[in-house]
């Protein structure tokens, strides 16, 4: 994570979309997201999917992502074919 843009994201209440199927195991990355108050959605099942496959995954879950993004942060939610679920904190 880039410490130059994370403070801006958190301060503005923006949403981070990222691809990292192992975010649950990367404590320093999770802690930085929490430190700066980020609202993050992580494609946890994107694996070797094409860009088109990842886009379809986002579109399929977009309503839930949009609803969840209204909650106060910080948080990290995983997005996969089963839906959207909280990963942290």
Q: Is the pLDDT of residue 46 over 70?
A: no
- List, for residues 55-76, the tens digit of each pLDDT value: 888 999 999 999 999 999 899 9
- pLDDT reported for residue 33: 84
Task: List, in order, residues 6 or more apart from 41 with CB less than 8 Å away.
Answer: 15, 16, 17, 18, 65, 68, 69, 76, 77, 78, 79, 84
3-state secondary structure of 83: strand
86: DSSP letter: E
> How far is residue 41's CA from residue 49's CA, in Å, rounded to a whole number?
17
């Amino acid at each position: 994570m880039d410490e130059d843009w994370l403070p801006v994201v958190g301060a503005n209440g923006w949403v981070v979309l990222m691809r990292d199927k192992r975010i649950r195991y990367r404590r320093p990355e999770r802690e930085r997201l929490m430190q700066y108050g980020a609202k993050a959605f992580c494609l946890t099942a994107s694996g070797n999917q094409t860009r088109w496959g990842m886009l379809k995954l986002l579109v399929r879950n977009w309503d839930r992502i949009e609803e969840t993004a209204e909650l106060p942060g910080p948080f990290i939610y995983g997005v996969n074919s089963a839906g959207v679920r909280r990963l942290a904190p």
